[in-house]
Amino acid sequence: MKVSTMEMPKPLAVHRVDPLIVEAWVTGWTLSRRTPAPTVLPIGFRVDVGLPQEKTRYVLPEFRPEVVTDLASRIHTPWTFIKVCAEPRTVAEVLPQAWTVQAPLFMMATALAGNEASQGEGILPKGYVVRVFDEGPIIRVQVEDAAGEIAASGQCALNGESCIFDQIVTHELHRRRGLGSVIMTLLSDEAVARGKRQGVLVATADGLALYRAIGWTVHSPVTSAVIIPADERAAGK
């Protein structure tokens, strides 16, 4: 098993993972990415993503070493992912050699209504305009600069009482201007207006500070492992 060249984070003090939060995220992610709905398995979920560099993903809400090892040992198709709600070190220890552990991720959640930390956030800086697109179960928001170029964007998928935030991006030239908070505030407002009470997302290490600053909390670490084709692994890609 190969671990990607990144510094492993310190272990997080988190409570037992709520499988309903994981299910909400997986289902919302498939809505957001317009993939087939997840298949429910005894060990978690399978999503047939169908992309060249992500064919299938398995999501396991509970870390059981024997289950992770057995599943990983039976998979040989490149660009298959296993995502486990557990620390990277823990998962890395039980994976076969063919698997590469990627940079750490963090499942986060918040109560959308009455989030005190978000009050006053999301003020649009001068020179930008906002566009909101209602696409049924998906709400998209984009911030454009004076030239009409997209400076920041994001979307959320509505699923039951939950709203799953996805693809929150601020382009490099427009960072440190609060646009990420603008996107999150607008999406949250749209979700609350539609009766959604809980927000769920999976963040990278870079996004952690933003989401914590607006009232989100870490529900669980998420470790993502993938089979990378042998020639690409050898080339260090």
Higher pLDDT pick, 236 / 182: 182
Question: Domain check: are 10 and 88 in the same one?
Answer: yes
Question: Domain check: are 116 and 214 in the same one?
Answer: yes
Its domain, for residue 143, covers: 110-219
pLDDT above 90: residue 138: yes
Question: Domain check: are 158 and 208 in the same one?
Answer: yes
pLDDT value at position 231? 77
Q: Which residue blocks in 76-163 are alpha helix, DSSP H?
A: 88-92
Compute the Cα dihedral for 64, 227, 207, 178 and give only its sign: negative
pLDDT grade, residue 123 (50/70/90)? confident
For the stretch 194-227, pLDDT in tens is 999 999 999 999 999 999 999 999 999 999 999 9
For the stretch 50-107, pLDDT in tens is 999 999 999 999 999 999 999 999 999 999 999 999 999 999 999 999 999 999 999 9
Taking residue 43's Cβ as centre, other Cβ atoms within 10 Å add up to: 16
Using only C-alpha atoms, the chain has a radius of gyration, in whole angstroms, of: 18
- Alpha-carbon distance of 187 to 138, in angstroms, equals 10
pLDDT above 70: residue 119: no
Question: Domain check: are 123 and 205 in the same one?
Answer: yes
Number of domains in the chain: 2
Q: In this structure, are residues 28 and 200 in contact, taking their beta carbons and an 8 Å threshold?
A: yes
Question: Domain check: are 184 and 98 in the same one?
Answer: no
CATH number of the domain at 136, please. 3.40.630.30
Question: Domain check: are 186 and 168 in the same one?
Answer: yes
Question: Domain check: are 158 and 179 in the same one?
Answer: yes
Question: Domain check: are 165 and 199 in the same one?
Answer: yes
pLDDT value at position 11? 46
Q: How far is the first Cα of the chain from the last one, in angstroms, to the nearest whole number?
A: 16
Question: Domain check: are 61 and 131 in the same one?
Answer: no
pTM for the whole thing?
Answer: 0.88
pLDDT grade, residue 113 (50/70/90)? confident
Question: Domain check: are 188 and 211 in the same one?
Answer: yes
Question: Domain check: are 161 and 74 in the same one?
Answer: no
- Alpha-carbon distance of 121 to 119, in angstroms, equals 5
- Alpha-carbon distance of 36 to 13, in angstroms, equals 34
